[in-house]
């Protein structure tokens, strides 16, 4: 059946002739394109003619000494050039990684930047032949279908999948830069009224994350005046100002730069506390969180030696964090990696 406007082609075109089309369209010369592709000029011409037949429209205006793209050719070139570049890049990556061992991890951005990445150099020194890929995302990834080997997740024990390995729990603690504390002495809860308080701006809108708020911390540690909930609400501490961020890394960065006192997740700031970049002004007022950091393995990858090596290293690092924060896990929440 002849191609007419009322009966346009609907099946996808074959991709075999797109490389020839891209070369001719870029060079605007059949002979130059043939030389680049190591083909004869007649072979390139046949490929372009076949592609035009499939597309259903002329892609070039052929003049005596020149070639010009038609409007249809210009549309196809914009898509083809970008697609071929991506395909070539993917093939280069596959060729470079062929035969190499690698481990792909999915986790959320703040944990990657604050806990995992600073420690990775130690793993790379131990295993220089293993490549690491970190996919940082706040979205949960289906490990049965995703191209990752393991996930590090943050969840309450009752919500985590069976077989997850507990890395460490957490406590929440106020932290600040040393020079801010030299300017503002904070020895009791009421002293927090003199400074800016930093916290997660979206914690109240997310299940479980309300445990990370100053409100919960103040409910636990601030003196409770008589008069019931309404009186306590009126007496709630009012700081100099509030500063809100969406990511834990941003909250801690604000504290590091002296912009306020942050309510921080202890496992993520243990190193900064140890080296003196941050200080706990009220160390006796750490508040337990019900949220836990977990290692979850993809079902098809746990037997690979490189994944086993990474998990062994990760568990050793998690043990160091548990020791640093005084975390004693509940045996019922601890699993083992076979």
User: Which backbone phi and psi does 250 adopt, to 5 degrees?
Assistant: -70, -40
Within a domain: 2: no
Burial readout 171-180 (b: 16 or more C-beta within 10 A, e: otherwise): bbbbbbbeeb
Residues 81 and 189 in one domain: no
Distance between CA atoms of residues 318 and 171, nearest Å: 15
- The structure's pTM equals 0.67
Which pLDDT does position 126 carry in this prediction?
Answer: 94
Looking at 49, 67, 97, the residue that finishes a domain is 97
Which of 219 and 269 is assigned the larger pLDDT? 269
Count of CB atoms within 10 A of residue 168's CB? 22
Q: What are phi and psi of 150, to 5 degrees?
A: -160, 160
Q: What pLDDT does 13 receive? A: 73
Which positions ≥6 away from 53 have C-beta within 8 Å?
none
Question: Beta partners for 61?
Answer: 68
Q: Which of 169-173, 264-268, 324-328 has the lowest mean pLDDT?
A: 324-328
**Separate counts of helices (H) and strands (E) for the chain:** 12, 12
Residue 1 lies in a domain: no
How many residues are given for the chain? 338
* 3-state DSSP assignment of residue 207: coil
State which residues form the domain around 129.
101-169+292-333
Residue 205 lies in a domain: yes
Co-location of 41 and 189 in the same domain: no
Render pLDDT for 206-239 as a digit per residue (tens, 0 to 9): 666 778 889 889 988 886 665 554 444 434 678 8
For 134, the 3-state DSSP assignment is: strand
* Separation of alpha carbons 238 and 22, rounded Å: 65
pLDDT tens-digit map of 315-333: 999 999 999 999 876 555 5
- Could you tell me the CATH number of the domain that includes residue 130? 3.40.190.10
Phi, psi of 40 (to 5 degrees): -80, 155
Choose the final residue of a domain: 97, 125, 141. 97
- What is the distance, to the nearest Å, from the Cα of residue 313 to the centroid of all Cα atoms in its chain? 21
112 & 250 share domain: no
Last residue within a domain, chosen from 62, 97, 132: 97
Question: Are both 222 and 137 inside the same structural domain?
Answer: no
Residues 195 and 278 in one domain: yes
Average confidence (pLDDT) over 48-53? 93
Do 80 and 180 belong to one domain?
no
- Residue 254: Cβ within 10 Å count: 21
- The pLDDT of residue 2: 44
* Residue carrying structure tokens 């100099």: 240
Pairing of strands 67-69, 101-107: unpaired
pLDDT band at residue 284, thresholds of 50, 70 and 90? very high
């Amino acid at each position: 059946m002849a191609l007419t406007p009322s009966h346009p082609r609907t099946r996808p075109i074959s991709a075999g002739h797109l490389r020839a089309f891209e070369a001719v369209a870029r060079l605007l010369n059949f002979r130059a394109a043939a030389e680049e592709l190591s083909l004869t000029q007649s072979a390139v011409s046949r490929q372009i003619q076949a592609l035009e037949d499939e597309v259903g429209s002329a892609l070039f205006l052929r003049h005596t000494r020149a070639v010009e793209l038609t409007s249809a050719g210009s549309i196809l070139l914009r898509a083809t050039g970008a697609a071929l570049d991506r395909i070539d890049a993917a093939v280069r990556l596959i060729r470079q990684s062929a035969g190499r061992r690698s481990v792909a991890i999915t986790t959320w951005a703040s944990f990657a930047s604050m806990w995992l990445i600073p420690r990775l150099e130690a793993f790379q020194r131990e295993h220089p032949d293993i490549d690491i890929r970190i996919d940082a995302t706040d979205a949960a990834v289906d490990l049965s279908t995703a191209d990752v080997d393991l996930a590090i997740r943050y969840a309450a024990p009752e919500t985590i999948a069976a077989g997850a390995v507990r890395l460490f729990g957490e406590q929440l603690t106020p932290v600040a830069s040393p020079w801010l504390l030299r300017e503002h002495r904070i020895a009791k809860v009421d002293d927090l009224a003199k400074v800016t308080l930093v916290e997660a701006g979206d914690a109240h809108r997310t299940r479980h994350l309300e445990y990370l708020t100053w409100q919960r911390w103040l409910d636990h540690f601030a003196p409770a005046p008589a008069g019931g909930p309404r009186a306590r609400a009126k007496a709630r501490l009012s700081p100099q100002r509030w500063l809100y961020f969406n990511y834990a890394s941003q909250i801690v960065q604000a504290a590091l730069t002296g912009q306020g006192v942050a309510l921080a997740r202890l496992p993520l700031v243990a190193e900064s506390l140890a080296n003196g970049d941050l200080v706990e002004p009220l160390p006796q007022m750490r508040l337990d969180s019900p949220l836990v950091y977990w290692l979850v393995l993809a079902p098809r990858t746990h037997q690979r030696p490189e994944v086993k090596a990474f998990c062994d290293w990760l568990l050793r690092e998690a043990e160091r964090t548990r020791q640093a924060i005084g975390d004693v896990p509940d045996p019922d929440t601890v699993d083992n990696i076979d």
